[in-house]
Structure 1
Amino acid sequence: MEKPCWVRTLVAQLALCFGLYCAFQLGNPQNSVYIHRSEIKPLDLYFISVRGGFRPVNQQTHLLKQMEKAVKTYKARFVVNVGEFGEHDPLLQNASQLVSSPKIPWYTTRVSKSHEERGNFLKQVNLSHGRTLNIIGLNTGLLQNVHPGPLEETEDNQFLWLTRTLEETSGNWRIIVGFHPLADCREGDEKMETNHAFETLQQTLITFEVNAYISGKDCSHQGSIGYIENPGSIVKEPFLSLSNGRTPVDGFLLHRVSSLEIVTYFVSSAGEVVHRSVLQQRGKEVM
């Protein structure tokens, strides 16, 4: 007995839909912003860090759209904007214009040499099992005076604030965010002088066992975001950075924080995970 016409039509439509689904899946990159399901931990905390500043309009809009996808997919709690202009940062201002963008807090750094505009911040977030994440924003503009002698008053006040903040925070994770890199990126004769303030900053990170340092610059390209794990070690350039040789890779960092580890995904503006880094608690093992 011949099947009714509508049955044959339905079967053909289902086969067509299945074929389109398979083609779509094959066409998607393996390292999409949508990371593997086995790595998604609902109880962990997600947040984003991104380099602020000026970008062409199309590039900026595309980047914000990718960030929006990540926020919705992983329920990111907040964004850390690593920039020079504080609340007037172009990326931050344009993010608020995206109507569909989830309303989550943005915390931004500032570069200023005015002591009245210190530009520091402290963000404390509770994790599971009584753990705490501390993110400390530091105005590194006050540390830019290069001299071999004692610290100036503005620099000394910055370190006094940072030291007190680190002493008063007993969190399990400590991340410091500053626009300038820890390493001296200058070359040749320009490296004859050493920025004593940044040497002191690095020593402070060692003393208080800071877990990571995020900067708005790195030594491979001045337009890339830098990320250093365990920044107490002497390094010439960041452990990982969003750059490819001399060509910057515009994008952002997606951080997944648990009580035992921080997994950081370097996501390009094309939505691809170009790096993955795992930072474990000192003296802890991943279960």
Structure 2
Amino acid sequence: MEVESAAELQGRRPPPWRRTVAVQAAVCLALYAAFSLGEPQLRPRLGGDALGVGGGGGLSFLSVAGGARPPADQARLLRQMESTAKVYEVKLVLDVARFGDDPLWQNGSLHFQALNIPWYSTTSHGQIVSNFLKKVKMPYDQILEIVGVDTGPLEDLLHDGKMSNSSREQITWLEQTLALTSNNWKIVVGYDPLVDCNVARTTKTTKIYEPLRHIFEKYAVNAYVSTGGSCGHFHHDNSMSYIQNPIPGDQTNLDGFFMHRVSPLEMETLLINLDGEVVQRSVVHQHGREAM
């Protein structure tokens, strides 16, 4: 039986520094895989740079159009929203729904309970009008103020131009609420779109419903979030941004949700489809300069 000396064994072993490097490399690869598995693959469909979200100094929230969807589509939507909410530390979800028994609201708000992320909706529950004012603290002592308006009582005003008692009450509530807000970020959310675009030949005319436009300008509202309309998903009017969630089953055949990230100087909005692709992106600056 041959017995190898300690010197011979030492000569056959790899140098200690090689083992150390190999172990460190394996640990790095394991950590990279762990983080990659937990992050949603938000990728631009149309190319472009890496996403600007995820950095420090901002506050994130989601908005999504309510309504009925096939069970498989609703499950995909909620999974993608959940993954995005975990990675980007989303603080709340706005369910832009028309009716109080909205199926997405019923399933989504329950689905997000484990994440401790509240859902807010501006819908009528019988004869009860659902308005709300939500204030969220931001970095640098700023405040994001979200005003939810049930646009059901405003439908006569929006469609026929008639000011009913219920319309007048809603307009009064909105103006009084905005008058008490700060000079930081202000976002109004409601179901009905307030921008109407008509294209005749090569001319595009845009109509923004009054007196809401005047109220938004008077109180320096930064954005109005609603469901889809005829002006696409983003429309800018001076310092005001109209953001319109895709409605499942409409002519665009697109379903998804918005992720909004608000920082002291700008608000970035990403339209994300069911595959996690960023379909469109919009940035609105605090003083009215915007880029898409």
Identify the TM-score tier after normalising by the shorter chain.
Answer: 0.7 to 0.9
Q: Give the Cα–Cα distance (whole angstroms) in 1 for the partners of residues 172 and 212 of structure 2.
A: 11
Deviation at 1:119, TM superposition (A): 1.2
Matched, 1:89 2:102: yes
Q: Is the 8 A contact 1:45 1:76 kept in 2?
A: yes
TM-score, structure 2 length as denominator?
0.72
Q: More strand by proportion, 1 or 2?
A: 2
Partner of 1:264: 269
- Which blocks of at least 5 consecutive residues in structure 2 are unaligned? 1-10, 201-206
Q: Secondary structure at the match of 2:75?
A: helix
2:87 counterpart residue number: 73
Structure 2 residue identity aligned to 1:202: R
| Whole-angstrom distance in 2 between the partners of 1:228 and 1:220 | 7
The two structures have a TM-score, normalised by structure 1, of 0.73
Amino acid at match of 1:129: Y
Q: How far apart, in 1, do the equivalents of 2:154 and 2:217 lie?
A: 18
Aligned to 1:253: 258
| Structure 1 residue ranges, 4+ long, deviating more than 3 angstroms after superposition | 1-4, 35-39, 96-101, 146-149, 184-188, 226-233, 238-243
Q: CA deviation at 1:275?
A: 1.0
Structure 1 residues 201, 283: CA separation in 2 closer, same or farther (over 3 Å shift)? closer
Question: Post-superposition shift, 1:98?
Answer: 3.5
2:203 maps to none
- Aligned to 1:199, the other structure's residue is in SS state coil
Asked if 2 retains the 8 angstrom alpha-carbon contact of 1:124 and 1:132, the reply is yes
1:282 to 252, 265, 287: 287
d(CA) in 2 for partners of 1:268 and 1:261?
Answer: 23
Choose which of 170, 173, 180 in structure 1 pairs with 2:182. Answer: 170
Q: Where does 1:132-211 land on structure 2 (aligned, <5 Å)?
A: 132-145=143-156, 146-148=159-161, 151-184=163-196, 198-211=209-222
Higher Rg: 2
Query: How large is the Cα RMSD of the aligned pairs?
Result: 3.8
Aligned amino acid, residue 281 of structure 1: Q
Provide the rounded CA distance (Å) in 1 between the counterparts of 2:99 and 2:177: 23
Aligned to 1:117: 128
- For residues 1-45 of structure 1, give each alpha carbon's deviation from its aligned partner in whole angstroms, at most 9, with x where no partner exists: 9999xx9xx9xxx8xx99xx8xx99xx78428xx94764223311
- SS of the residue corresponding to residue 212 of structure 2 reads helix
Question: Percent of aligned pairs with the same residue?
Answer: 35
| Aligned residue among 25, 32, 44 for 2:58 | 44
Does the CA-based 8 Å contact 2:63-2:93 persist in structure 1? Answer: yes
- Report the Cα distance in structure 2 between the residues aligned to 1:29 and 1:138, rounded to whole angstroms: 31
Look up the SS of the partner of 1:157 in the other structure: helix
